[in-house]
Chains A and B, each alone.
Chain A
Amino acid sequence: MGEDTDTRKINHSFLRDHSYVTEADIISTVEFNHTGELLATGDKGGRVVIFQREPESKSAPRSQGEYDVYSTFQSHEPEFDYLKSLEIEEKINKIKWLPQQNAAHSLLSTNDKTIKLWKITERDKRPEGYNLKDEEGKLKDLSTVTSLQVPVLKPMDLMVEVSPRRVFANGHTYHINSISVNSDCETYMSADDLRINLWHLAITDRSFNIVDIKPANMEDLTEVITASEFHPHHCNLFVYSSSKGSLRLCDMRAAALCDKHSKLFEEPEDPSNRSFFSEIISSVSDVKFSHSGRYMLTRDYLTVKVWDLNMEARPIETYQVHEYLRSKLCSLYENDCIFDKFECAWNGSDSVIMTGAYNNFFRMFDRNTKRDVTLEASRESSKPRAVLKPRRVCVGGKRRRDDISVDSLDFTKKILHTAWHPAENIIAIAATNNLYIFQDKVNSEMH
């Protein structure tokens, strides 16, 4: 694939030797809007940065469709919960774009406790020629006004204005892990570890609880909600995943409280691979419906799985992301890496799936050809506009020249957040505090 590399932070001098990374700059979520024109990222410092794709122009062929910074704003601030004596992190856990209904763009951003609706508008004209005020806005001396004029709109430098339109607070006792906008464009849901709430986009003081898995006795708690999403077409259907590796498809028409699932998707455990870590690695870290709405993609620690909504017994496809880690699970448990939550993504035509791994590697699986590739997102290994070289992790046996051995993988360099353009072969990869945007110039159309 060809590549265009953008970085979002200007502190190159710090990053050159990679010894200093501002914690607040660590990217925590990446999301394209519905046309792919805009790309939003959220970080640990509570900021949102929106990139816009430059329109392709014949006059500047080199900058075809590159993403430039469009707007930056502070979405969430750190808070302190005085009742529990706990800090509430300002880290942006998820961003979801609303479908565009007028000239303005809107998105939802959330931290652990509070969801906010932001409206992004452009201003490129400004009225000039006021009668009572001068150019700088100061009141004119009335004696100097000899004639009346009608103010006219004159073009100005583009200004992007972002304003918070709604704040959906106090809906969650536990940490919000997902938000999902309904296809009805009026409601959305937010999920924390134990509950899922349904909100109306215009109403902030009320939400409906639609899933509650909190046991009467917290000592009996053995399972939590890890992710959830609305079906892309059926506004009554949504799915949520659990820490035990199961998926529950729920129908909001069935009951007000959707504790009883319509369908339960669960793969029976493989007895030959059983270990004390089996449950942890089966915990689903992300679930995504396909664009068609027919399939679901799930990510657990070692695999990505494709599920057919019509088959609950097992996934229809399973892809190994980094099976070589299976023998290292104890060490990964010790250093907490086993709890890393990787996301997954479909391409626009649902033919390729992508997910991140360690050492700044990310993986793509072609569902049709069954071929897969490992690529690396890092400054050192790729120059701008160079073709990405496939990487390989060797697990003993014959080692090729550029192979990386399992023991030299850098587990601090994890690609947790990835996103795929809804229509084209453009992907956004968040590697700690850097954002990489790769484009496939050769095969820019989906097939």
Chain B
Amino acid sequence: MFARGLKRKCWDGDEDVEGAPAAPSYSLQRQSLLDMSLVKLQLCHTLVEPNLCRSVLIANTVRQIQEEMTQDGAWQLPAPPVAGRGPLDHLVSTEILCRAAWEQQGQRPAPDLPSELPGALGAPAPGSAQSCIWEADSSRGHRGSFPKSLDQIFETLESRAPSPVEGLFADAGGPYYDLDAVLTGMVGGKSGPGGGDGLQALAPAGAPPPSASCKRDLGELDHVVEILVET
């Protein structure tokens, strides 16, 4: 489909690995493009407000890539999940990137992650990637409904103690998925992309592997953290 086109376009025919296939695999290129785009969205070099048009175009590109990755069902795990601290560290480091971006965009300075997060959630839809980028005045109305679930999530990540929530996602393949899927499910009424589907797909105990739509949200983990930090 567009696999071939992307190969030629993206890598400008300059990949010549000795003894190996000439071009990196399409999914690797696509992942690399996704990573590059996420970095572009987060980095702000100057004190000037970032260009909204550029941010919108990059965010749309990210969404396109994620949609395609979902359709392919070819979701790449970033790394084998490490029990305990690993995933939490990843969350923290992403948050630091977000925090720098926030402060430069003139948002309320993001408080320190561990102490503030339980009370600081205000983003209505974790499924969307954009809320942290656009502006400061998104709603803070959902503050009340989040803290409990976030506490649960962090307990889950840190202690790996079985919880009803985690039990549902036993086959999901790691804490990343737990966090994202749980948040998506917990928001309830607000329909993040695939949120409702993900939860329903996992409803039966001893769940089958997560649906494709659930996996789509999983890729937006970084943005989930951004949203957490946003308020």
User: Which A residues form the contact surface with B (CB < 8 A)?
Assistant: 81, 83-89, 112, 174-175, 193-194, 217-224, 226, 243, 273-277, 279-280, 283, 326-331, 333-334, 336, 339
Tell me whether B47 and A221 are in contact (CB under 8 A). Answer: no
Tell me whether B134 and A326 are in contact (CB under 8 A). Answer: no
Cβ of B121 to closest chain A Cβ, rounded Å:
15
Tell me whether A86 and B61 are in contact (CB under 8 A). Answer: no
Flag whether B48 is at the interface (Cβ < 8 A).
yes
Tell me whether B49 and A277 are in contact (CB under 8 A). Answer: no
Cβ of A272 to closest chain B Cβ, rounded Å:
8
Report the nearest A residue to B62, measured CB to CB.
A276
Cβ of B111 to closest chain A Cβ, rounded Å:
16
For the side of the interface on B, what is the size category? 35 or more
Cβ of B105 to closest chain A Cβ, rounded Å:
7
Known interface pairs A243-B56, A327-B9, A339-B54. Does A219 touch B64 (Cβ–Cβ under 8 Å)? Answer: no
Tell me whether B54 and A193 are in contact (CB under 8 A). Answer: no
Flag whether B113 is at the interface (Cβ < 8 A).
no
Flag whether B131 is at the interface (Cβ < 8 A).
yes
Cβ of A172 to closest chain B Cβ, rounded Å:
12
Residues of B within 8 A of A330 (CB): 9-12, 33
Tell me whether B57 and A339 are in contact (CB under 8 A). Answer: yes
Q: Which 6 A-B pairs have the closest CB atoms?
A: A84-B106, A330-B10, A219-B128, A218-B134, A85-B106, A219-B131
Tell me whether B130 and A218 are in contact (CB under 8 A). Answer: yes
Tell me whether B131 and A276 are in contact (CB under 8 A). Answer: no
Report the nearest B residue to A281, measured CB to CB.
B57
Tell me whether A86 and B8 are in contact (CB under 8 A). Answer: no
Q: From A194, A276, A279, A336, name the one whose CB has the most chain B CB atoms within 10 angstroms.
A: A276
Known interface pairs A86-B105, A274-B2. Does A327 touch B131 (Cβ–Cβ under 8 Å)? Answer: no
> What are some 26 contacts across the A-B interface (CB < 8 A)?
A81-B106, A84-B106, A85-B106, A87-B48, A175-B49, A175-B52, A193-B52, A217-B124, A218-B130, A218-B131, A218-B138, A219-B125, A219-B128, A221-B134, A224-B56, A226-B53, A274-B2, A275-B2, A275-B5, A275-B6, A279-B60, A280-B57, A283-B53, A283-B57, A330-B12, A336-B54
Given A86-B47, A339-B51, A339-B53; 13 other pairs, CB 8 A cutoff: A81-B106, A85-B103, A86-B48, A217-B138, A219-B125, A219-B130, A224-B53, A276-B33, A279-B57, A280-B57, A329-B10, A330-B11, A331-B12
Report the nearest B residue to A328, measured CB to CB.
B12
Residues of B within 8 A of A243 (CB): 53, 56-57
Tell me whether A175 and B51 are in contact (CB under 8 A). Answer: yes
Within 123-141 of B, Cβ neighbours of A (below 8 Å) are at 124-125, 128-131, 134-138
Flag whether B36 is at the interface (Cβ < 8 A).
yes
Report the separation of the CA atoms of residues A65 and B136 in the bound assembly, to the nearest whole angstrom.
Answer: 52
Tell me whether A84 and B136 are in contact (CB under 8 A). Answer: yes
User: Which B residues form the contact surface with A (CB < 8 A)?
Assistant: 2, 5-6, 8-13, 30, 33, 36, 40, 46-49, 51-54, 56-57, 59-61, 64-65, 103, 105-106, 124-125, 128-131, 134-138
Report the nearest B residue to A192, measured CB to CB.
B52
Known interface pairs A81-B106, A243-B56. Does A219 touch B134 (Cβ–Cβ under 8 Å)? Answer: yes
> Which of A84, A89, A223 is in CB contact (< 8 Å) with B105?
A84
Known interface pairs A219-B131, A275-B9. Does A224 touch B105 (Cβ–Cβ under 8 Å)? Answer: no
Tell me whether A279 and B8 are in contact (CB under 8 A). Answer: no
Tell me whether B61 and A219 are in contact (CB under 8 A). Answer: no
> Which of B65, B106, B135 is in CB contact (< 8 Å) with A276?
B65
Residues of B within 8 A of A279 (CB): 57, 60-61, 64
Residues of B within 8 A of A326 (CB): 9
Residues of B within 8 A of A175 (CB): 49, 51-52
Residues of A within 8 A of B128 (CB): 219-220
Residues of B within 8 A of A333 (CB): 33, 36
